[in-house]
Amino acid sequence: MPKTIAVIGGTGNEGPGLALRWAKSGQYQVIIGSRQQEKAERVAAELNARLGEDLIRGLVNPDAAAAADLAVLTVPYSAHAPTLKSIRAGLTGKILVDVTVPLQPPKVSRVYIPPGGSATAEAQALLGDDVRVVAAFQNVGAAHLGDPDHPIDCDVLVCGDDKEAKAEAIALAEAAGMRGLDAGPLQNAAVAEGLTAVLIAINKRYKVKAAGIKITGLESGVESTE
Amino acid sequence: MPKTIAVIGGTGNEGPGLALRWAKSGQYQVIIGSRQQEKAERVAAELNARLGEDLIRGLVNPDAAAAADLAVLTVPYSAHAPTLKSIRAGLTGKILVDVTVPLQPPKVSRVYIPPGGSATAEAQALLGDDVRVVAAFQNVGAAHLGDPDHPIDCDVLVCGDDKEAKAEAIALAEAAGMRGLDAGPLQNAAVAEGLTAVLIAINKRYKVKAAGIKITGLESGVESTE
């Protein structure tokens, strides 16, 4: 039986595209989580219409987290702590993949390092040791995510202190059509997150829409990550 | 007359390769700076032997900074503040390109955000407003730098608050055979610097020697940066 993923805050920019790709891969059962049941159901229905199958369901965030094997958090930084508190009870023993980028609007092309070192480190501190938190997917722009047939020219940097959790996130990247790379310990999430502000600065400066990053120099030595 | 660059701390890992490439480009006069005159002269002589021409000279760091139009700082983080203090007098009105990566040996695959936000921000604070500091070249591994005919599959992220200084650093990247990109304000140097620890983590994890980064998605929109 495939694992169930809850995409918490899954009605925003990044969530629906990721949910669509994971559902389409056939490797996961997918739940869209939202603060409102209605909104979760509406977005799930829209994605199912695009898939031509009822593969995705919608639930309020706490129920989505409780029903899932692993959770992916895609919320604006301003909603990060409150959302984590609302789903904490359902996450015990599970893996949380944190996609949150700590930006300070309106200065979204400036790197902001939050008090806890990174959003992901703050999530780990808030959730405690019973949840394994990894950072991933911050640098993948929403521009092409929603079209599952559009290739995404961006690697997914995965940072965390738990090997198994990192392997899960790398598998999620691959299921969504991207290369996931183990980018070191949780402490490195500061860079994976901050790189998003750098990419936004580059988008503005060079008048493009979906600057991304690729890690080079791996050709000779990539280990299997599965 | 070509501009003169001083490569401060130019006898280490990164400095000689950059000096060689800039001298070879014909676009710059190059000075290797070191704490010791003898060592500076020895490295300059070695590089001139490789070039087949006497294009590079060696001076102690303060003299190198004073003699140059612009300076590039390539020292370990532990030598960052003392070196800056030693060259400050010679830098007034000039541009400093800071290549320093704030690593905390032996944990060099962990991102470390220094108290001042980044090494580059600390340099700017130490030098004051009379020197324009930009961050660049942190992610370029020394592995292939010393062979000027070896292509380097890595972009140079340039972060700073002064447009002209960023343009100088982008021109330096191009003269050394790399693509330089305006990656936003000085505040973004935290990511350009920290990315080096991420690349070291990737080198270790995937058993490669020269992981680098490329910015993708620019094909349609790159502005001329000159």
pLDDT in tens, A182-216: 999 999 999 999 999 999 999 999 999 999 999 99
Q: Structure tokens of B126?
A: 């130490």
Interface of A with B in 70-129 (CB under 8 A): 109-113, 117
Q: What's this model's pTM, rounded to 2 decimal places?
A: 0.95
Average pLDDT over residues B104-130: 97
pLDDT for B86-98, tens place per residue? Answer: 999 999 999 999 9
pLDDT at B226: 34
pLDDT at A226: 34
Helices (H), chain A: 15-25, 37-51, 61-67, 80-87, 119-127, 163-175, 189-206
Contact A191 B187 (CB under 8 A): no
Contact A202 B190 (CB under 8 A): no
**Residue numbers in B near A113 (CB within 8 A):** 113, 117, 190
Those residues whose C-beta lies under 8 Å from the C-beta of residue B78, and which sit 6 or more positions away, are: none
Q: Which helix (H) or strand (E) holds A31?
A: strand A28-34
Contact A111 B157 (CB under 8 A): no
> Which residues of chain A are modeled with pLDDT < 50?
221-226
By the CB < 8 Å criterion, does A214 face chain B?
yes
pLDDT for B183-222, tens place per residue? Answer: 999 999 999 999 999 999 999 999 999 999 999 999 864 4
**Residue numbers in B near A218 (CB within 8 A):** 202, 206, 208, 211
Contact of A48 with A16, CB cutoff 8 Å: no
**CA–CA dist A33, A67 (Å, integer):** 10
Contact B213 A214 (CB under 8 A): yes
Contact B198 A211 (CB under 8 A): no
Contact A223 B215 (CB under 8 A): no
Contact B184 A190 (CB under 8 A): no
Neighbouring C-beta atoms of residue B62, cutoff 10 Å = 20
**Residue numbers in B near A214 (CB within 8 A):** 213-214, 216
pLDDT at A25: 96
**CA–CA dist A184, A161 (Å, integer):** 8
Q: What single letter denotes the amino acid at residue B178? A: M
**Preferred mutation among B157, B159, B203, B208 to probe A, highest tally of A CBs within 10 A:** B208
**CA–CA dist A35, B157 (Å, integer):** 39
Cβ contacts from A onto B, under 8 A:
158
**Preferred mutation among B153, B195, B203, B220 to probe A, highest tally of A CBs within 10 A:** B195
Contact A197 B207 (CB under 8 A): no
Nearest CA in chain B to A143: B217
Contact B202 A182 (CB under 8 A): yes
**CA–CA dist B138, B199 (Å, integer):** 10
Q: What single-letter DSSP state applies at residue A153?
A: -
pLDDT at A141: 86
Q: In B20-38, which positions are buried (b, 16+ CB within 10 angstroms) versus exposed (e)?
A: bbbbbbebbbbbbbbbeee
pLDDT at B220: 61
**Preferred mutation among A140, A179, A181, A187 to probe B, highest tally of B CBs within 10 A:** A187
**Residue numbers in A near B222 (CB within 8 A):** 206, 208
- Among the partner residues A111, A182, A205, nearest to B205 by beta-carbon distance: A182
Least Cα distance to A5 among A92, A72, A87 occurs for: A72
What is the end-to-end Cα distance of chain B in Å, rounded? 18
Q: What is the distance in angstroms between the Cα of B186 and the nearest Cα belonging to chain A? A: 9
Neighbouring C-beta atoms of residue B12, cutoff 10 Å = 16
